[in-house]
Chains A and B, each alone.
Chain A
Amino acid sequence: MNPKEEKVKIITEEFIENDKDAGVGRQKKTPKVARQKRKKRLPTTGPEEMVPENLHFNQQGPVPEDSDTRPLSMTSRRGPRSLPPIPSASRTGFAEFSMRERMREKLQAARSKAESTLLQEIPTPRPRRLQSPSEKEMETEFGTEADEEVQRTQKEDDSQSYSRVKFCDSVRKIKPKPVVPPGFPSAEEAYNFFTFNFDPEPEESEEKPKAKNRDGMNQEEEEGEEEEPPVQEHKMDEEELLSAKDDEDFLLGLDHAAEDFVVVRPADYESVHVRLQMEKELLFVPSRLTVPTYKKLPENVQPRFLEDEGLYAGARPEVPRACQNIMENRLLTQEPGRKWFGDDGKILALPNPTKGFPSRPPVLTREQDIKAELETLYKKAVKYVHRSQHMIGSGDPSGNFQLDIDISGLIFTHHPCFSREHVLAAKLAQLYDQYLARHQRNKAKFLTDKLQALRNAVQTELNPAKPHKSLDTTQKAINEYKSEIRQTRKLRDAEQEKDRTLLKTIIKVWKEMKSLREFQRFTNTPLKLVLRKEKVDQKTDEEAYEAEIQAEISELLEELMEEYERKMEGYRASYQQWKAWKKAQRAKKKKKKQAVEEHPDEEMEEPYPGEEPVKPVPPEPTDRALVEQQVRERAAWSRRRPGEPTLVPELSLAGSVTPNEQCPRAEVLRREDVKRRSIYLKVIFNDKEVSRTDSRPLGADFRVHFGQIFNLQIFNWPESLTLQVYETIGHSGTTLLAEVFLPIPETTIVTGRAPIEEVEFSSNQHVTLDHEGVGSGVPFSFEADGSNQLILMTSGKVSNGVAWAIGENGIPLIPPLSQQNIGFRSALKRADAISSIGTSGLTDLKKLAKWAAESKLDPNDPNNAPLMQLISVATSGESYVPDFFRLEQLQQEFNFVSDEELNRSKRFRLLCLRSQEVPEFRNYKQIPAYDREIMEKVFQDYEKRLRDRNVIETKDHIDTHRAIVAKYLQQVRESVINRFLIAKHHFLLSDLIVEEEVPNISSEGSGILGLSLFKLAEQKRPLRPRRKGRKKVTAQNLSDGDIKVLVNIIRAYDIPVRKPTASKFQQPSRSSRTFSEKRAASPTTHSPTHSTDYPLGQVLVRPFVEVSFQRTICHTTTAEGPNPSWNEELELPFRAPNGDYSTTSLQSVRDDVFINIFDEVLNDVLEDDRERGRGIHTHIERHWLGSVKIPFSTIYFQAKIDGTFKIDIPPVLLGYSKERNLIIERSFDSVRSLSEGSYITLFITIEPQLVPGESVREKFDSQEDEKLLQATAKFQTECALKFPHRQCLTTVTDISGKTVFVTRYLKPLNPPRELLDACPNSPQAMEELVARYVSLIPFLPDTVSFAGICDMWSTSDQFLDLLAGDEEEHAVLLCNYFLSLGKKAWLMMGSAIPEGPTAYVLTREQSHYLIWNPCTGHFYGQFDTFCPLKSVGCLIGPDNIWFNIQRYDSPLRINFDVTKPKLWKSFFSRSLPYPGLSSVQPEELIYQRTDKAAAAELQDRIEKILKEKIMDWRPRHLTRWNRYCTSALRHFLPVLERNQGEDIEDDHRAELLKQLGDYRFSGFPLHMPYSELKPLIEAVYSTGVHNIDVPNVEFALAVYIHPYPKNVLSVWIYVASLIRNR
């Protein structure tokens, strides 16, 4: 009860009290009784009826409504209604039920109260007391229902009913109070009337239906139950409430009729049995019992089990037995047709469609079962590591991979300790093994059978009894058979012969062995050979033999006949040809005669000596007798004679070995030696020792058993696997016998499946022993006289097995490179072929078949049908199995175009090639949008290059060797460039980000705040110009014409001067040559240009300079005198190839700047002196004096070239001499050291300045010790800190791209023998000759060939093989030669002009040092001012590197004493001693003598080509060759070579003069090393000899090639022009 209701009650009670107070003498009893009655009555009516009841009341009595009380009563009434007794909000069945229960109880209670009130009318009963009897009654009457709940509700009901009674009272009291109309019954009466009016039950029952109508929902169920109580009540009340009946009748007249309608009946009930009975009639319940099979099958049919018959039945779904029985029973009864039953008497069922495993596993169980491709791996946060070549599968160290190496044993097939008998035994065993193997295969037998079968086949084919085949096919078949017969016979003969020889050899060896055993009177080996004879039937054998021979003869004859026919045909044809040729020849000869008469010039052209066709000889017919003889001979040799028993050798180890005591001393020693020896193996993995076997003693049978398995846990991909066989003798050291290289197993080979293989090894060690042992590598003989010597090397076999290990759960432990190929473990392994054997396994059909067998795949399952078919096809091996797997099968159908068409598109091809940076297309700018706009010829060059890649062309290269070398160089270059292109795409931070240096106060150079701050305060000195740094231009935004090469020609020294007539001039004799004396160009010729005398003021020479670059030619004005000063700036435009100004492109520019010096000669053309007065007719001629060649790459890398260069002047300049020669006589020594040639001062630069490309920073891998590499890095940084501009070199890159420590290149190497023999008594001359030899090897700069790429150093033998290299190679070779000559020599790294950074060679003489330029062969003293070497960075010796830490680096100012640590910082010092690095150079150089004939031939060809070229260059003039002069020059050139172009014999000049006395002569010999033809032609062209257009000019050209060893050729070209003096 909630407080509100309480309050309401209180209020009502107050009302009641008020009423009582106001009540007029009312008896206390009656109200109470009435109250009791009311109380009893109230609950019987449902709460719903309260309102209508009330209304009813009001209608009954004219009761005016009190507005005050009404709401109050309403609330009070509603209170208990709205609050259900049990707190349950919903109107559930329970609530309803409890409500019903309550009502019933209340009814009960009311009834009993009514009774009790009637009984205790007089003694006023206290209402409270009455409760207990009613309770008791309840217990007695409804004991079954009176449980706790009921009691509780009852209590609540009581209180409710109590309150209700109270408020009813109040209502009653309120109502009558205002309604007191006169003439009406008194209050008492009214009260009674009202109260008693309630009691009659019939009214209630009548009202019920009404209520039901109003509120059917709630009342429906109550109806049945509540029907009875009212009736009973009614009965009970009938007698009791008589007085009240009248009132009832008065009120409700209808009540009587209601009683008539209601009929009381017992509840309808059917017994269980009846019901079951009825159900049985209606329902069918199939039996659960098993149905016997015969019922399910048609009569007299036996059940048939398909599975037993081999058909596929499939797995039936699992159904409980009972269910199945029920089903069967039902089917049998309902549908008697039995169509639901199969042949086996079971219900038809499809195979179970459900999968055995869930296709969608719960998410939470992912740890256990996750698909391999979705596997995640926790990776630690790692620092970014640069890609490096060493690591494979970088940063993936998770897997541990294992390689199992099983070394089972070792057998020596030869060992130094072998006795002679052992040697034979080994041989015998080997032969026997071979015999067994052959015997097992028995190929001879097989081939014989085959031959027989083929012959039979031919016979049957030839049989005319088979007419159904067309003749054609038969003939064809027969021919095929016959050719096969021939082949088979050949094979068989060979096999038989081999068999027989083998047998013979075995017997021979065994005999030898026996004789040896007898001879030495002891036995060392248990080997024993038994020959078993197998008798054969003499007669049949003979017959077979004869038949065979006959068959063979006939076949051979047939064959020979065919051959003869063919030959005859060939003969006829060739005879015809020959005849025709003869005819033609005759005609030709006639013609030729005429031709020769017409063109006498052409006679030089010999008719090429083509091979004349030989007159063919007719073949000879064959002779049967001869053939037969041959066949018989062969048969006798290769076959067993008829009737001869077949021999079967059997080798056994049954023999006994003579014990030690009976052996001679030498043998005992041998045996003891064997005992002392033991063997072990080292396992070397990737060149690192990983483990070794135990040391096992060598057995007397020279077998060692190891039986060890090594498990290698590996991280890197295996590259090499080697076993090293070591032998230990006694307690002395071990020796490495041999290395056995094992193949890395395939990934499919895992432990357990790997076969044991025998790998043979042999060693080249030489062992001589002082006992019976035969030793190794030393000759020994079985014969007493020592003839028939044998040299055996230690050899043997290692039996081993290498395989990948298998992990715990069956995963092969194979490195990740191939891991995807290997099956991953999976729970579905057995069900899914792909997961079990991996996708790669699908292509390996054997594996697939094996898997199918293992997993017991049902071959009849239609699901597996394609698989089984595939397997059966594959294993039978009959039909075609595609060895590919099509990835996108449907692709083909949807393709727009075919592959070919796609590839044919020129545009696409061009695009691809450009992006691949193929040289031809690397900088191709715009590619047309349409195919038709692309010319076909774009690809021509490229295709040609591809085609020619492997074809060595000898057209461009006259010398084949050089052609091969050129090809090789080309390939090296390509591969290096490709690597470089890849490396170029790796960028460093500095490539991408330009960061301005932060200004720093202390910094000297670039600081804004530093010293430059003070500069602001400096005085301005406009007259003192300061050099400003030029701005560097990056090459991207340049175009043609933007770049110019500026050549500033300043002056020249010591230009050769024209020579006056020098007939009287005599050269001083030069007997005292010293080292400091250099070649003195002292050409003197006879031919005077001016017939006048040579006065002092006469112009000696009028030189001018012509600079040519990229076909642009500029020249200076003409100056005068031998020391001219031009001071002119020439500007030459520069064009980059393809218009591409990128760094790489510029680096690869191979053009040279040629600076030629000419003498301008004015010739008076007037021939008639009489006309001299009227005009001047002169002819300007220019005579080439010399040249300087500077490669563009040098200019590009150096940015500017500034200095004085030596002019390359030919050793002989006809008509010129050096002015100095005149002075020489006076001051011989003083001048000489100053100038020994002509010099020119130049300044060359590029405008605007370009940024030179950087060399590749790629770090090459190295085989050097890691410590050493660290030391080099440290050394270099230290050096760079002190002297950043000095070159410091510690490691270099070799030709294969590996970093090598530089001292490894230096090692004494022998110069060619011939050079040493040339001047045996003068070491100085020898050195010069050696230097000259080195300089004759052609120069090929690395920077040009490998644009922008680091230097590559080839070893001296590579250098000599390639016959090309740059300064380093030359210097290394020269230094090595000097070292071998016993000199102190160093490689000197420094910078020189014009080369830039370069390598020279420094040698130490007794008192002074000499600096050698290896490329020219010249040498300079340390204090020679004209030495091109300008700075010295470091010196490299064979065992150390010294870095120059002196203040100056000019060779003039430094001390070369490397022992002083203050001046030279050495790499290896006390803290880091020299570890004794082995050299990369070969042991010695082997020189092949150059073929003189080839050189002579080359010489002729060059001469011819050059002559043709000169004629080509003069297209408008006739070129005449002066043969006298040529032959004179030809004699002259070898002399030049002999004297190395330094001295010219006077008599030769005199000879020239004699021969060519009336010619004006200008010419010079050119000398250069031979590399290819093009430079020679260029050189001749650059001299401009051909430019003379005087009409009667004649030319002379002579070529001489002097061959030096190793194909080093020195080429001399003498070219001259002659003009006849009239």
Chain B
Amino acid sequence: MAEVHVIGQIMGATGFSESSLFCKWGVHTGAAWKLLSGVREGQTQVDTPQVGDMAYWSHPIDLHFATKGLQGWPRLHLQVWSQDGFGRCQLAGYGFCHVPSSPGSHQLHCPTWRPLGPWREQLARAFVGGGPQLLHGDAVYSGADRYRLRTVASGLVHLELGLLLRHFDRYGVQC
């Protein structure tokens, strides 16, 4: 019966080697959570920063959950994509972060990574674009076996989330 309201935005990204970036995002929750309103996933526009190296999206996130348990606290998973000069898109990074569990405004910085692939693929990526992508995207947030992957770090995604919690104290949860 407790409620969690997440209102905020995906501010943008820094530290990516590519310039024109956009972000696909989604929220993943456990079975105890019920989305009352809002969209679970989305995609931002493409931003090509002219000044500085931060790509600004300022993409709104407006989610309202009701929950009957703490398990599966919502987490955001992000995919940063880059668009090249021909308008083609390729993956620039995977990342995920938990929605904070204390009320108030939060600044989040979500580091991202992408799979590296064998040298042939690296070479192909450098010259013709594209790149290795996870076949099963949930490895981003669920993989205990992720150490097997060879990855390379990409940039940071910045988020600004405001949290409103309700009725948690009723069930003995302090936040």
Contact = CB atoms under 8 A, between A and B. Distances in A.
Interface of A: 361, 363, 366-367, 370-384, 887-888, 890-891, 894-899, 901-902, 905, 908, 911-912, 914-915
A902 B130 contact: no
B149 A376 contact: yes
Contact of B31 (A384, A887, A897): A887
A363 B116 CA distance: 13
Interface of B: 1-2, 30-32, 34, 36-38, 64, 66-72, 84, 86-91, 115, 117-118, 121, 124, 128-136, 138-139, 143, 145-146, 148-150, 170-171
A891 B32 contact: yes
B133 A376 contact: yes
B89 A376 contact: no
Contact of B134 (A376, A383, A888, A897): A376
A895 B32 contact: yes
Nearest to A384: B89
Contacts of A382: 88-89, 130
Interface centre among A370, A890, A915 (most CB of B within 10 A): A915
A863 B149 CA distance: 30
A914 B145 contact: no
B152 to A, nearest CB: 12
Given A378-B124, A888-B30, A891-B30, A912 B2 contact: no
A98 B64 CA distance: 85
Nearest to A901: B1
A901 B1 CA distance: 8
Nearest to A892: B69
Contacts of B70: 894
B37 to A, nearest CB: 4
16 contacts: A372-B136, A373-B136, A373-B143, A374-B145, A375-B135, A376-B135, A376-B149, A379-B130, A891-B69, A894-B71, A895-B32, A896-B171, A897-B171, A905-B1, A905-B66, A914-B37
Given A371-B145, A902-B68, A384 B36 contact: no
Contacts of A901: 1, 68
Contacts of A371: 145, 148
Contacts of A895: 32, 68-69
B129 A381 contact: yes
A383 B135 contact: no
Given A376-B149, A377-B133, A891-B32, 20 more contacts: A366-B150, A367-B118, A374-B139, A374-B146, A376-B134, A379-B91, A379-B132, A380-B128, A381-B88, A383-B89, A894-B70, A895-B68, A896-B67, A896-B68, A897-B68, A897-B171, A901-B68, A902-B68, A911-B36, A912-B34
A887 B30 CA distance: 10
B149 A383 contact: no
Closest 9 CB pairs of A and B: A381-B129, A381-B88, A915-B37, A376-B132, A911-B36, A380-B130, A896-B171, A381-B90, A373-B136
Given A379-B132, A894-B69, A384 B139 contact: no
B65 to A, nearest CB: 10
A899 B31 CA distance: 11
Interface centre among B86, B136, B138 (most CB of A within 10 A): B136
Nearest to A916: B37
Contacts of B132: 376-379
Contact of B1 (A373, A384, A890, A897): A897
Contacts of A897: 1, 68, 171
Contacts of B150: 363, 366
Contacts of A375: 134-136
Contacts of B118: 367
B17 to A, nearest CB: 15
A912 B129 CA distance: 43
A94 to B, nearest CB: 47
B36 A912 contact: yes
Contacts of A905: 1, 66
Given A370-B148, A377-B135, A911-B64, A891 B89 contact: no
A367 B132 CA distance: 13
A374 B142 CA distance: 11
A373 B118 CA distance: 17
Contacts of B129: 380-381
Contacts of A373: 135-136, 138-139, 143, 145
Contacts of B30: 888, 891
B32 to A, nearest CB: 6
A21 B119 CA distance: 83
A371 B139 CA distance: 11
A372 B134 CA distance: 10
Contact of B2 (A376, A891, A896): A896
Contacts of B1: 896-897, 901-902, 905
Contacts of B67: 896
Contacts of B146: 374
A911 B37 contact: yes
Nearest to A896: B171
Contacts of A891: 30-32, 69, 71
A915 B143 contact: no
Contacts of A380: 88, 128-130
A244 B68 CA distance: 111
B148 A366 contact: yes
Interface centre among B30, B84, B139 (most CB of A within 10 A): B139
Contacts of B170: 896
Contacts of A370: 148
Contacts of A912: 34, 36-37
A927 to B, nearest CB: 9
Nearest to A816: B135
B168 to A, nearest CB: 9
Interface centre among B66, B71, B72 (most CB of A within 10 A): B66
A381 B128 contact: yes
B149 A374 contact: yes
B121 to A, nearest CB: 5
A896 B145 contact: no
Contact of A374 (B2, B128, B143): B143
Contact of A381 (B66, B72, B130): B130
A1028 to B, nearest CB: 37
